[in-house]
Structure 1
């Protein structure tokens, strides 16, 4: 019987340890599932800044105002009565924190829109290609429009066809096809679709929303994915293995608790052994056989009831056993309260 009780005690200790470890394992299991398995770190490794600038230059033929001729730099408009040639300087700048490759081509053309009546395209110059590898790159292109010849051409069409549009739009298109290459990452060069000029009588003016400068910034970022670790004191465990380990450990410890539960093992231990172990400090053993016939006997249904009587009467609980049974009693003349449990 003592061996059974020791075995139960051992299992009880194991059960308590398993419960403690199980709660800890459950906590770390839940915590591991709340953490991302990977950490994503984004680091900017380069920044590419591009700007496209248009500069206007009107060359004036000799006249009353400028006897020797001159060069004007209009911002928005100029008169064709003075200027017989329009130069559009296009400058593309690329600034980078490290060398990049800039390449592309120009195929400038002039497109004339005569209201909704007709449209005509002219090639301004032969196309050309460019290629540079640098940190501070600059690409330039100049497009020339011979204003006097253009006006003569339009007057000829009007006289020939007897068509007199109320407005002309001159669309100067660089037709830039270019890219910036930074170690395999490619970005397009922007030309803003060129410039639009409105012609009314002898005045050429830029369209209202036209911009002479456009700019773009392209940040180059490096995304690094690395395994996230759980810090357990001095030990670091990757999150994914930690999830598996703590989940399996929790299941194992719950299984241990179930199979060492008190209700399952208590069936193998007689009731008196439980009582003797649990209330050993409250019991007073007696060796002589007790004659209960001298008092009024009150048999109780449970040891708990006897405990209640003992506390109420402030009397000790006596214990007597023979070969077949164990007697627990509380004398209180003329009564004696007792509880009997058999041996197995």
Structure 2
């Protein structure tokens, strides 16, 4: 029977292993497949570009005998410069056509460190609303009047008695509004600054002259991924759960079949005598040859419990004999002219022939 079981387990092992590999591969593939896919429906960018260009209006001097408005570098001479004309441009450049609307104003802020500051409006609040790929929000020329500014600073120093080694001049265009594109709206808020350091005898540029602010328009759609194999399409989560459960079941089945395939046998069911010997082994005495029943009355019992009861009442040992030829077993108690017996379920005769002497026997005492 062990051979038959071994062959059956081998067939089971060989049939389940390929199935496990297939189901396991599908399970791994389903877990590696993303559960969702994000598709970019709209992707556009608008750039808000602000550029400052400035010159210097000078009185006639040895460097510029005719005076007037001239191109200058990053350093201006305070004593010969009367004003700084500014050319300010702010443009919205987009990949696609957009609608821009809002307000803007331009201010000159004079700062004495953290002590005080004064604001001069260069342009009052203006509104704008334009549509296109290149939208001009600000395009104008403004002027910083240094004569007026120097007079104001001198008066503050005289009245307060506090003289700063450096003042800051900030030209600040402030833009508030929105940009609309493809049913999407983005806030428009820009405050780029052109900064000069106003020193004792020089005015030096202290910032960049061009700035760019990006406004992103992104819209995406996320959809659940199905599991597709050949022409079969199933929900991904269903495939994940199903293939994982099946893989576990198949793996356990293979482990079970491999266990008995490896041992090559199935543990046989214990016989009744083996169970009795194991349970009452501490009371057993072995005999190797069956006693002579001649002239004795043999009383057979149907259950071992009956025989055990007689042994306890009469304080007699219970002998166990196993015939080595036909594997028959017999439990018996000898009490004078009486022999009490119990024979486990077996094909051997109830009372074995005493001539078949060689075998194994145990006695319960």
1:56, 1:75 within 8 Å by CA — same for their partners in 2?
A: no
CA distance in 1, matches of 2:110, 2:326: 116
2:43 to 38, 42, 45: 45
Shift of 1:162: 3.8
The match for 1:177 is 176
Q: Match for residue 186 of structure 1?
A: 186
Structure 1: distance between partners of 2:38 and 2:185: 20
Aligned positions of 1:1-40 closer than 5 A: 20-21=18-19, 23-40=21-38
The answer to whether the Cα contact below 8 Å between 2:175 and 2:188 also exists between their aligned partners in 1 is: no
Instruction: Quote how far apart the aligned CAs of 1:211 are.
Output: 0.6
Tell me which structure has the larger Cα radius of gyration. Answer: 2
1:101 to 99, 102, 111: 99
When residues 299 and 29 of structure 1 are mapped into structure 2, their CA distance, relative to the original with a 3 A threshold, is farther
Out of 67-76 and 196-205, give the one that drifted further: 67-76
Q: How does 1:226-265 map to 2 (within 5 A)?
A: 226-247=223-244
Indicate if the aligned counterparts of 1:53 and 1:212 stay in contact, CA closer than 8 A.
Answer: yes
1:218 is displaced (CA, Å) by 4.6
TM-score by length of 1: 0.59
Task: Give deviations 1:102-155, integer Å, cap 9, x for gaps.
Answer: 233223222222345433333333222222221112222544321111112222
When the two chains are superposed, the root-mean-square deviation of aligned CA atoms in Å is: 4.2
Partner of 1:280: none
Q: Residues 299 and 181 (structure 1 numbering): CA distance in 2 closer, same or farther, change over 3 Å?
A: farther
Q: Deviations over 1:132-190 (max 9, x none)?
A: 22111222254432111111222233334444332222222223334433332415454
2:222 corresponds in structure 1 to 225
Q: Counterpart in 2 of 1:113? A: 111
Q: Map 1:333-344; keep pairs closer than 5 Å.
A: none
- Give the match's secondary structure for 1:176: strand
Please report how far the alpha carbon of residue 92 of structure 1 lies from its aligned counterpart in structure 2 after TM superposition: 1.7
CA distance in 2, matches of 1:299, 1:70: 137
- Relative to structure 1, is the Cα distance of residues 23 and 78 closer, same or farther in structure 2, using a 3 angstrom cutoff? closer
**What's the TM-score once normalised by structure 2's chain length?**
0.56
Tell me the distance in 2 between the aligned counterparts of 1:33 and 1:235.
17
**Do structure 1's residue 74 and structure 2's residue 75 form an aligned pair?**
no
Runs of 5+ unmatched residues, structure 2: 261-265, 267-323, 328-346, 348-365
Q: Distance in 2 between matches of 1:29 and 1:240?
A: 11
Aligned residues: 260
SS in 1 for 2:169: strand
Unmatched tracts of structure 1, length 5 or more: 268-297, 302-323, 325-344
Which residue is 1:83 aligned to? 81
Q: Name the SS for the 2:87 alignment partner.
A: strand
2:212 to 187, 212, 215: 215
